[in-house]
Amino acid sequence: MLGMGIVKGLVETARNFLGSFTDKDRLVTVQFPEERLPVAEAARNFPFLIYDGVDPEQGLRCVACQICEKECPPRCITIEKSKDKKPDFVGKQQFYPAVFDIDVSVCMSCQICVEVCPFDAIRMDNEFELSTDDRFGGLLWTKEKLALPNEHYMAIHPTEAAEVEARRAEEKAQAEAKKQQPAVTK
């Protein structure tokens, strides 16, 4: 009969309206600054540099090989090698970056820098509330701002971090074994 469709529609909307006060499924809004949706583990937004230990200068994993600078598609990374060397986690002397800048407004979160880094030094962070009102340099992040401890990496990407830790522990063990061997053979 004419009009039945309208009545059914009205009943459905009324059910939605009344249900939105009681039923969780009928009010799916997440009120943003107060509540947040859970972030997926593989979510990525902007890269950061990892340092081991407590000193961001000494424990920085990056050896300024500049592979990520060359591979970055919009070329947002700027690296300047240092003149002296410092030891890395297996004890070998490596360069370190004197200047390491990433431009936040240029970076497109493609993760290519992470994929090509041979030293597990740069990884993606999932922090997205990066806006600032400082127009003159607020969006050019330097080494000090980019360096975050390894614990942070393990907190945000646990599975990847576990795999990286396992690999690094193995390499460290191999390096230790090699260090003790020449004393034996010679």
Partner 1 sequence: MPDQMFVLLKHWILGYSPAVIQPAVSILLTIIPILLVFPVLFALTTVLERKGLGRIQNRYGPNRVGFYGILQPMADALKSLTKEDIVPASADHTVHFLAPLVLLAVAFLPYAVLPIGRNMIAANLDAGVLFFFAIGAISELSVFMAGWSSRNKYSLLGAMRAVAQMISYEVPLLLSSIAVIMAAGSLSTVEIVEKQAGFSGIFPHWYVLTPWGFAGFVLFMIAATAETNRSPFDLPEGESEIIAGYYIEYSGFKFALFFLGEYLGMFAISGLGITLFLGGWSAPLPFLTWIPSWIWFFAKLVGLIIGFIWVRGTLPRLRMDQLMNFAWKFMLPMALVVVVSAGAWRFLPQGLTRWLVSTAFIAVAYTLLARGVETRNKIAKRTYRFAE
In the complex, which residues of this chain contact partner 1 (CB under 8 A)?
Answer: 1-3, 6, 9-10, 12-14, 16-17, 20-21, 26-29, 31
Q: Residue 19 or 91: which CB sits closer to partner 1?
A: 19
State the nearest-atom distance from the C-beta of 21 to partner 1, in Å: 8
Q: Which is nearer to partner 1, 17 or 109 (CB)?
A: 17
Nearest to 51 by CA among 100, 112, 2, 103: 100
3-state class of 78 per DSSP?
A: strand
**Residues with Cβ within 8 Å of residue 168, at least 6 apart in sequence:** 89, 120
* Least gap, CB of 36 to partner 1 (angstroms): 16
Tokens at 66, concatenated: 């500049």
> At 140, phi and psi to the nearest 5?
-110, 105
- Shortest Å, Cβ 129 to partner 1: 18
Cα separation, 93 vs 96, whole angstroms: 10
Smaller CB distance to partner 1: residue 4 or 177? Answer: 4
User: Among positive and negative, which fits the CA dihedral 173, 174, 175, 179?
Assistant: positive
Shortest Cβ distance from residue 43 to partner 1 (Å)? 24
Please, which residue, 35 or 84, has the CB nearer to partner 1?
35
**Nearer residue to partner 1 within complex by CB, 12 or 57:** 12
Q: How far is the CB of 12 from partner 1 (least distance, A)?
A: 8
Say how far apart CA 62 and CA 96 lie, in whole Å.
6
The 8-class DSSP code of residue 133 comes to S
